[in-house]
């Protein structure tokens, strides 16, 4: 039964400004304008006037003599794959434009990584597309897809093979509880557009342990056709949550509810009928029961919204994009709905930034959706970065993961300098890495975004990508609990 606006208003009044509605997730409340501030090494003052612990993180970043990755003292990195340098088992170059990534336990102590390649449009446009591996191709005209990278226990041996090919603009995705990867196409191209021979804008399942399961790729049309970004699975209820990175109008957050008799498992999603289950978009309202048209309206961390779900009329968007099928008063929108990660019994959800296309401007939000309470809570809010070319402040969060050492690890996809950075449970941020690879010129430097941060199954290695030209990195160091 939907949670009504009246129910939410009553519950908020009882809870006292939503304090009891924030759930078990840590409060990652970063005040606008406070992001990236230098924190004293001796710690921050506590409520009793004492010190409440040293500054978070691992200290300042040290310039890389190789000009690739700045890290704190004691940390090291290793290049796992690099477009134009490393090759697949079949001899072709590692595809370019690395994006969303997940890790899995592999055979004999190895780590398997499924790596998206965000390549949009026809293959001829790209020097290093995903190779058209026999039996793993959806649309031979498309350049994107995934590769599966296998790294030995000591990191000295790496192999790479195609996981799926002939898909387009494989941006993010999500790991499933049953050990597969859902790769998402961030496009709405139909057959005949941009050289495509099939419709695109779907989700596909890739099994890193058994590539035979991905033969004759079939889109999971029940999850809709739109500019997909990321997806997470609620392991208890079976719902899938999906973000849409789009504007004009701004994109939506979706929930797919499976048929009542459906059981999840390897390869089961691709057996669904195209109209199976219910795909719905979110609609938010505040504690007073007032409809919220756009998530950028929230200007204070700790803001809690109630959430209802409005069914999508035509999920395959035969004539009208899904997000355009709703009148403005029906659903809640947000610009740049990007990465997601399932943890703490709910979904962490990123809205990367908001500009003139949104009611209120910001440089990044992270929300937490609690499915049990049907509430959405603002955890991180990044104020406008006044000078993105100066190292210090962060902007444009994109892919995220929850760290085994506490808090979030966030990939920056903003203006100017690009970082991997952390956010602690009490709202402080700290740098983990900086991309020092200049792909511009000396006079006009440019730095590619970070993508796909994810820890190895044993928590010892943080994998992350530099999207252009396409570099997968393994970062190791003295990780410690961030409190």
Task: Return the structure tokens found at 25.
Answer: 């997730």
| Residues spanned by the domain of 261 | 5-476
Q: In this structure, are residues 339 and 350 in contact, taking their beta carbons and an 8 Å threshold?
A: yes
Per the domain annotation, does 354 fall within a domain?
Answer: yes
Whole-structure pTM value: 0.90
In a domain, 358, yes or no: yes
pLDDT at position 429 is: 87
Alpha carbon distances (Å) from 352 to 72, 141, 463? 25, 30, 21
In a domain? residue 449: yes
Instruction: Assess if residue 482 is contained within a domain.
Output: no
pLDDT the model gives residue 476: 97
Nearest residue to 9 (alpha-carbon basis) of 289, 302, 290: 289
The Cβ-side half-sphere exposure at 270, using a 13 Å CA radius, reads 18
Do the beta carbons of residue 59 and residue 477 sit within 8 Å?
no
**Phi, psi at 325, each rounded to 5°:** -80, -10
Tell me whether the omega of the peptide bond preceding residue 249 falls within 30 degrees of 0, making it cis: yes
* CATH code of 462's domain: 2.120.10.30
Instruction: List CB contacts of 251: < 8 A, sequence separation 6 or more.
Output: 226, 227, 229, 243, 244, 245, 323, 333, 334, 335, 336, 337
Distance CA 199, CA 42 (A): 57
The whole-number pLDDT of residue 213 equals: 85
> pLDDT in tens for each of the 483 residues of the chain?
444 444 444 444 433 322 222 222 333 333 222 232 232 333 334 444 433 567 899 999 999 999 999 999 999 999 999 999 999 999 999 999 999 999 999 999 999 999 999 999 999 999 999 999 999 999 999 999 999 999 998 888 999 999 999 999 999 999 999 999 999 999 999 999 999 999 999 999 999 999 888 899 999 999 999 999 999 999 999 999 999 999 999 999 999 999 999 999 999 999 999 999 999 999 999 999 999 999 999 999 999 999 999 999 999 999 999 999 999 899 999 999 999 999 999 999 999 999 999 999 999 999 999 999 999 999 999 989 888 888 878 999 999 999 999 999 999 998 899 999 999 877 788 999 999 999 999 999 999 999 999 999 999 999 999 999 999 999 999 999 987
Among 427, 304, 419, smallest CA distance to 367 is for 304
Indicate the pairing of strand 462-466 with strand 450-455. Answer: antiparallel
Using only C-alpha atoms, what is the Rg of the chain?
22
483 within a domain of the structure (yes/no): no
* Structural domain includes residue 164: yes
DSSP per-residue codes, 343-405: ETTEEEEEE--B-TTSSS-BS-EEEEEETTTTEEEEEEEPPP-S-TTSSS----EEEEEE-TT
Q: Which pair of tokens denotes residue 283?
A: 């609609």
Would you say residue 390 lies in a domain? yes
Cα four-point dihedral sign 101, 105, 108, 109: positive
In a domain, 481, yes or no: no
* Inter-residue contact 426 to 302 (CB < 8 Å): no
- Phi, then psi, of 421 in degrees rounded to 5: -140, 160
pLDDT for 483 equals 74
Token readout for 294 is 């756009």
User: Measured at the alpha carbon of residue 182, what is the angle toward residues 147 and 225, in degrees to the nearest 5?
Assistant: 115
What are 397's two structure tokens? Answer: 């969060």
Would you say 123 and 137 are in contact if contact means Cβ atoms under 8 Å apart?
A: no
CB 355 within 8 A of CB 361: yes
Token duo for residue 48:
């009793």
Tell me how many domains the chain contains: 1
- Report angle CA 168, 173, 177 to the nearest 5 degrees: 140
């Amino acid at each position: 039964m939907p949670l009504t606006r009246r129910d939410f208003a009553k519950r908020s009044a009882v809870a006292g400004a939503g304090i009891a509605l924030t759930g078990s997730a840590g409060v990652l409340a970063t005040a606008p304008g406070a992001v990236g501030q230098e924190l004293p090494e001796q710690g921050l003052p506590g409520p009793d006037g004492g010190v409440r612990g040293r500054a978070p993180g691992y200290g300042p970043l040290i310039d890389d003599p190789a000009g690739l990755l700045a890290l704190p003292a004691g940390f090291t990195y290793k290049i796992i794959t690099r477009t134009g340098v490393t090759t697949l088992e079949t001899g072709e170059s590692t595809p370019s434009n690395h994006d969303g990534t997940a890790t899995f336990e592999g055979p004999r102590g190895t780590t398997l990584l499924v790596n998206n390649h965000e390549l949009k449009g026809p293959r001829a446009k790209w020097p290093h597309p995903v190779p058209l591996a026999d039996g793993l191709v959806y649309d031979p005209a498309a350049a994107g897809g995934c590769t599966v990278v296998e790294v030995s226990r000591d990191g000295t041996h790496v192999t790479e093979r195609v996981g799926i090919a002939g898909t387009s603009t494989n941006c993010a995705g999500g790991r499933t509880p049953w050990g597969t990867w859902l790769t998402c196409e961030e496009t709405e191209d139909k057959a005949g557009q941009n050289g495509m021979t099939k419709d695109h804008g779907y989700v596909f399942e890739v099994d890193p342990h058994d590539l035979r399961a991905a033969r004759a790729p079939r889109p999971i049309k029940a999850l809709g056709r739109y500019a997909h970004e990321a997806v997470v699975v609620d392991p208890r209820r079976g719902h899938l949550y999906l973000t849409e990175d789009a504007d004009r109008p701004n994109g939506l957050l979706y929930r797919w509810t499976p048929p009542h008799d459906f059981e999840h498992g390897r390869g089961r999603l691709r057996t669904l009928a195209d109209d199976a289950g219910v795909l719905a978009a979110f609609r938010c309202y505040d504690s007073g029961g007032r409809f919220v048209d756009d998530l950028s309206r929230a200007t204070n961390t700790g803001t809690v919204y109630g959430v209802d779900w409005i069914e999508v009329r035509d999920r395959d968007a035969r004539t009208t994009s899904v997000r355009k099928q709703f009148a403005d008063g029906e659903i809640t929108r947000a610009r740049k709905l990007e990465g997601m990660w399932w943890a703490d019994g709910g979904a962490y959800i990123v809205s990367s930034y908001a500009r003139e296309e949104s009611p209120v401007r910001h440089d990044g939000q992270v929300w937490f959706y609690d499915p049990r309470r049907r509430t959405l809570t603002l955890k991180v809010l990044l104020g406008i970065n006044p000078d993105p070319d100066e190292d210090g402040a962060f902007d444009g969060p994109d892919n995220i993961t929850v760290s085994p050492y506490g808090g979030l690890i966030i990939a920056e996809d903003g203006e100017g300098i690009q970082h991997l950075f952390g956010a602690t449970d009490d709202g402080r941020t700290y740098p983990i890495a900086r991309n020092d690879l200049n792909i511009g010129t000396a006079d006009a430097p440019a730095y590619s975004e970070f993508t796909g941060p994810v820890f190895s199954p044993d928590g010892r290695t943080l994998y992350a990508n530099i999207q252009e030209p396409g570099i997968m990195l393994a970062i190791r160091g003295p990780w410690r609990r961030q409190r």
